[in-house]
Amino acid sequence: MTNKITKALVFNKQKQFLNWLSQVFPPILYYTVGGEMYVKVSHKQVWNLLYFLKNHSQTLFQQLTDLSVLDHINRKYRFEVFYNLLSFTYNSRLAVTVNVPENLPLTSVTSIYPSANWYEREAWDMFGVFFKNHPDLRRILTDYGFKGHPLRKDFPMTGYIEVRYDDFPKRIVYETVSLTQEYRIFTLENSWVDFNKE
């Protein structure tokens, strides 16, 4: 019984906080899922909102714990960027989400949260989400000459370039991808039958 009352109190506090925040920043949308608070804001307002959330005495979300990206390939605003914030003072979490089209840059928040530096570099490297005013926006997980962004839904499963170590010249070799396995048709009855031999 007390667990239900506690959940109800937390939910009411979250709702009050989100109502107050929507009055301070009117064009935002907010919702809760599984006890977590989410705020959706336009790409023009994300920097101002994050600055406010970090510095206002009623919020104090002083840590950016994560930045993640979702790729919705068929939408006009293809990428959905999540800024996951933590307030030690109020013991609460908040996710700020922003939808951004493929070719529109977001303003970097490294001046607000220094931890965003590598998160934004990873978002650029894996998805191609560009952050303007970033101090060092370059690839972080792939090679500097890598073509494309591997976590996009339209990136081919095999990639474009094959990287391997060649023992003869004793160096790393870059080659275009060549699939060596022949095409096979798999069914549940005969999954390993080679139809080319029949």
The pLDDT score that the predictor gives to residue 183 is 59
The full set of domains in the chain, from first to last, is 2-140 (3.30.460.80)
Among residues 158, 162, 180, 182, which one has the least CA distance to residue 172? Answer: 162
- Res 106 pLDDT > 80: yes
Q: pLDDT category, 10, cuts 50, 70, 90?
A: low
Q: What is the 3-state secondary structure (H, E, C) of the chain?
A: CHHHHHHHHHHHHHHHHHHHHHHHCCCCEEEEECCEEEEEECCCCHHHHHHHHHHCCCCCCCEEEEEEEEECCCCCCCEEEEEEEEECCCCEEEEEEEEECCCCCEECCCCCCCCHHHHHHHHHHHHCCCEECCCCCCCCCCCCCCCCCCCCCCCCCCCCEEEEEECCCCEEEEEECCCCCCCCCCCCCCCCCCCCCC
Q: Token pair for residue 178?
A: 């060549």
Q: Which residues 6+ apart lie within 8 Å of 194 measured at CB?
A: 182, 184
Query: Could you give the CA distance from residue 197 to residue 17 in angstroms, rounded to a whole number?
Result: 68
- Res 195 pLDDT > 70: no
- Res 1 pLDDT > 70: no
pLDDT tens per residue, range 42-73: 999 999 999 999 999 989 999 999 999 999 99
- Res 4 pLDDT > 60: no
Query: Could you give the CA distance from residue 45 to residue 183 in angstroms, rounded to a whole number?
Result: 50
The pLDDT score that the predictor gives to residue 89 is 92
The pLDDT score that the predictor gives to residue 144 is 78
Contact 121, 88 (CB under 8 A): no
38 phi/psi in degrees, rounded to 5? -130, 140
The pLDDT score that the predictor gives to residue 43 is 92
The pLDDT score that the predictor gives to residue 134 is 95
- Res 185 pLDDT > 60: yes
The pLDDT score that the predictor gives to residue 190 is 58
Q: pLDDT category, 14, cuts 50, 70, 90?
A: confident
**CA torsion sign, 48 to 54 to 83 to 105?**
positive
Q: Token pair for residue 43?
A: 């790409």
Contact 140, 118 (CB under 8 A): yes
